[in-house]
Amino acid sequence: MTIKCLAIDDEPLALKQIDAYIRKTPFLETVAICNNAFDAMGYLRAKQVDLMFVDINMPDLSGMDFVKSLPEKPYIIFTTAYSEYAIEGFKVDAVDYLLKPISYKDFLKAANKIKNLVELKGVKSETVKTAREHLFVKSEYRLVRIELSEIKYIESMHEYVRIHLINDKPVMTLLSMKSIEEQLPSERFLRVHRSFIVNMDRIKVIERFRIIFDNNVFIPVSDQYKTRFQEFINKNFLI
């Protein structure tokens, strides 16, 4: 297991230290370092990370405001020279905060918290099992069988996903979009937005990069996914 990390700090020495600690920890990997929140935003638009070390006190855009602005958050560990920020950090679901100057002992303790959460999340993800034309998901302490052909689209609801069905009420389950996307056949299901996965077999109308389902449900295709979506349409619908 390798946890991909992004470190953000406007102080070069502090950023160098975090990077060194990440490289020293066997289950962590540095994928990027940024000296401001705007560069980090650009990186996250193109790639995903598992964990971010974020300095709270940065010019122009603080680490706290940066994290609050993210529609989907990886695990967060704040770094700060001021202990009074700890409570505010936990309000935005940070896993931990590290008080500068940071010792490796404290760093490793926080990193192990993340490791435990990632391992627990992996166990939860195993509640999804695919078999031919159906899958099982855990919902309200039950395992519910869902036929793939009955899925219209899947919607992100923060830590949950809502699976919208053709002939039944939606099913809510504690899973990330990424984990359920990995379990679905890519030749039939396509991520078209951060918040939506669509069963391409169930699409009836497409209008200006909006997928229109029954009951006036409009699902946007975001810029990040337009190329893949158009390729899928060209290949499968011969447009």
Q: What is the pLDDT of residue 237?
A: 58
By the 10 Å C-beta count (0-12 exposed, 13-18 middle, 19+ buried), 172 is classed as middle
Inter-residue contact 199 to 148 (CB < 8 Å): yes
Taking the domains of the chain in order of start, what are their residue ranges? 3-125, 129-237
Same fold, 3-125 and 129-237: no
pLDDT tens readout for residues 165-191 = 988 899 999 888 888 888 888 888 999
**Which of the residue ranges 45-54, 106-115, 123-132 would you say has the lowest mean pLDDT?**
123-132
Question: Quick one: CATH architecture of 129-237?
Answer: Beta Barrel (2.40)
- Sequence-distant (≥ 6) Cβ neighbours of residue 126 within 8 angstroms: none
Q: What CATH fold (topology level) applies to the domain 3-125?
A: Rossmann fold (3.40.50)
Predicted structure pTM score: 0.54
Q: Write the DSSP assignment of 132-168 as a string of letters.
A: TTEEEEEETTEEEEEEGGGEEEEEEETTEEEEEESSS
Closest among 31, 41, 38 to 60, alpha carbons compared: 38
**Which of the residue ranges 72-86, 134-148, 225-239 would you say has the lowest mean pLDDT?**
225-239
